[in-house]
Structure 1
Amino acid sequence: MHDLPLRYFHSVARTGSLSAAAEELHVAVSAVSRQIANLEDSLGLQLFERKPRGMQLTEPGELLLAYANRNQLEVKNVIAEMRGLNTLQQQKITLACPEGMAWEFLPRVCAQFRGFHPGASFDLQVVDAARASHLVKEGMVDIALTFSLTPTLGVEISLSCNSPVTALMPASHPLARQPSLTVRQLSAYPLALPHAGSTIRYLFDIACNLHGLTILPAYASHSLGAIYHAVRHSSDVIALCGAATVSGTAHRDDLVLVPMSDPQLRQRSLQVQIMAGRKLPVLVRYFLSYLEEQLLTVSKPGN
């Protein structure tokens, strides 16, 4: 496949518009349209659905976009190797994760890794779970560490750990010694919860609906730090979180994690995701292995 049609295809797929792609490529719209039509003719496949608001990829188009993204990254890696830049001494590792994993766990893992490889640098994007998967699928980051409920086309799951939602509370709380809890038991106490849109709030709302409960939180925030400290500085407030999210701080702050027994709150998995089919640079592969090692450690029961 020639490079020029693929470059035009990649631009249209990324911008979702012939005119936006033409502006990006500094060519006429007719030139972009002609290249896309020629590419579809040569493949015998429709790559886009032409819609009033732009160009939407078909299933074959999604597959070709995944190839184009991998191809672009491979070319960059080869050029870096030729210039002697792709070494273990110095390389940027790009990451994406939701706010919960960026709060304590991932910065700690990155800092520990730099102790072994001081030349490594990190670029971390803090986004919602769906966006993290999208960024790794498009090749905009090397690795995504994210909570997932459904699979994503074009994304390879390098590691998946069960990450049920747990209740976080002061060690002195009346429920702190319970072996497990239900949302009905939590309803008697003030709660600190993330805003709608997070996987925790989504699963919590489902569990409440099934129990016929309407629970208004005492604290609601997009910030894990705000939720965590609402619990830390209170005697009766309970928050919901994943164990890996606060594994390095809860014990220090005299807080405990109690498992939730509602099936809906046990469905979540914490995934390490990479672009499907991509050959990662050496240092990124080393970090990936180290990240998975640390994640398995904090995901063990009792940690």
Structure 2
Amino acid sequence: MLIYLDEVVRCGSIRAASRKLNVASSAINRQILALEEDLGTPIFERLPRRLRLTAVGELLIDHVRATLRAQQQLNVRIADLTGLRWGQVTVATVGTVAAEILPTVIQSFRRDYPKSTIDVRMVGDVLTHILSNEVDVGIGFDLAAPPGVRTVFDIPVRLGVVMAPDHALAGRAHISLAACVGFPLILPSQAMSMRPILDRAFENFGESVQATVITNSVELMKQSVMRDQGIAFLTEMNVHEERTRGELVFVPLTESQFEPLHLRAIVKSNHQMNLMAEPFIRACEMHSNALLSNLTPSVPEVDLHQV
């Protein structure tokens, strides 16, 4: 009906609109008469050679055309989401997320949206890139959400001790911080979100804490553990692949002061989100939850009955 009305106004007559739309003029006329009856007022003045909009008709046609434009935009956006058109999602994130979460998410997402492009930017400050509208979404650990920023998902991730499978502590179900202090430690640098948590926890141990490696590279931490340089404090997500291959063991910490890190996705709350970003964020959340649900303390089977 909206298309009929718009075309009648453009053509100036029902007959001309009928020819252009390939619809019987009587059908168009019935629709217009029914609309006028519903409104309780004419929308056209019937002149000898043409139709002219009344004041009510002028008001109505503005609404009709706005609705048709919105419908066209919706069709385009739906086409974007169903992969019929190309689209791009821009993500600001940190190294851990880029290395351990996004590869699988991107692979899965692009199966559903094969013409999509995922622009992943490794940044020092995810929040700044969100506030400046440079990216669609920011993903990282313990991201703040000040006014104007919305948290889309928040997933707690346990912190634990990572060691080689043959390490003396590898057979435990849980580990206290005191048990770790006697071993060489591979620690995150001050720039990493978990370092302040560890610093507070280590205050009571003073100089007995021996750091062999300090780095902001999770990969270097894992490689150092595998080369017997010490034990590290990481999240269970950090070592998912290595645990699967039997290269590393993850054991949760017992200390109550070790609050979990929070994997978060944030967006600009007063900014219209790129619609392709919505399913991408959902894919990240689903993959992260699925990853965590499949993770269990990686204690060697031979020691399970001794726990």
Shorter-chain TM-score: what band?
0.5 to 0.7
Alignment check: 8 A CA contact 1:230 1:237 kept: yes
TM-score, length of structure 2 as denominator length = 0.65
Q: CA deviation at 1:251?
A: 2.0
Matched, 1:221 2:227: no
| Aligned mate of 2:101, from 91, 101, 105 | 105
Which letter maps to 1:95? Answer: V
Q: CA deviation at 1:107?
A: 2.0
| Aligned mate of 1:231, from 211, 225, 232 | 225
In structure 2, the CA distance between the partners of 1:125 and 1:270, relative to structure 1 (3 Å rule), is same
Mapped to 2, the partners of 1:180 and 1:120 lie a distance apart of: 43
Alignment check: 8 A CA contact 1:103 1:225 kept: no
Matched, 1:241 2:237: no
Which letter maps to 2:276? Answer: L
Matched, 1:281 2:274: yes
Mapped to 1, the partners of 2:89 and 2:290 lie a distance apart of: 22
In structure 2, the CA distance between the partners of 1:209 and 1:248, relative to structure 1 (3 Å rule), is same
Q: Larger radius of gyration, structure 1 or 2? A: 2
In structure 2, the CA distance between the partners of 1:280 and 1:214, relative to structure 1 (3 Å rule), is farther
Q: CA deviation at 1:151?
A: 4.1
Mapped to 2, the partners of 1:222 and 1:108 lie a distance apart of: 23
Matched residue, 1:250 = 243
Mapped to 1, the partners of 2:208 and 2:136 lie a distance apart of: 41
1:108-142 CA distance string (max 9 Å, x none): 211221122121111112234xx112212322111
Q: CA deviation at 1:211?
A: 4.7
Matched residue, 1:187 = 181
Matched, 1:117 2:113: yes
1:164-183 equivalences under 5 Å are 164-183=158-177
Matched residue, 2:261 = 268
1:59-208 equivalences under 5 Å are 87=80, 88=83, 89-128=85-124, 131-148=125-142, 150-208=144-202
Q: CA deviation at 1:198?
A: 0.9
Instruction: State percent identity of aligned pairs.
Output: 20
1:56-89 CA distance string (max 9 Å, x none): xxxxxxxxxxxxxxxxxxxxxx9xx69x698233
Alignment check: 8 A CA contact 1:189 1:237 kept: yes
Mapped to 1, the partners of 2:244 and 2:262 lie a distance apart of: 23
Matched residue, 2:65 = none
Alignment check: 8 A CA contact 1:163 1:266 kept: no
Mapped to 2, the partners of 1:243 and 1:252 lie a distance apart of: 14
TM-score, length of structure 1 as denominator length = 0.66
Alignment check: 8 A CA contact 2:94 2:122 kept: yes
Give every structure 1 segment of 4 or more consecutive aligned residues whose post-TM-superposition deviation is greater than 3 Å: 210-214
Matched residue, 2:299 = none
Q: CA deviation at 1:294?
A: 0.7
Matched residue, 1:299 = 292
Aligned length: 222
Alignment check: 8 A CA contact 1:109 1:294 kept: yes
Mapped to 2, the partners of 1:152 and 1:192 lie a distance apart of: 33
Alignment check: 8 A CA contact 1:92 1:123 kept: yes
1:78-106 CA distance string (max 9 Å, x none): 9xx69x69823311211122211122221
In structure 2, the CA distance between the partners of 1:286 and 1:155, relative to structure 1 (3 Å rule), is same
Alignment check: 8 A CA contact 2:182 2:208 kept: no
Alignment check: 8 A CA contact 1:105 1:248 kept: no
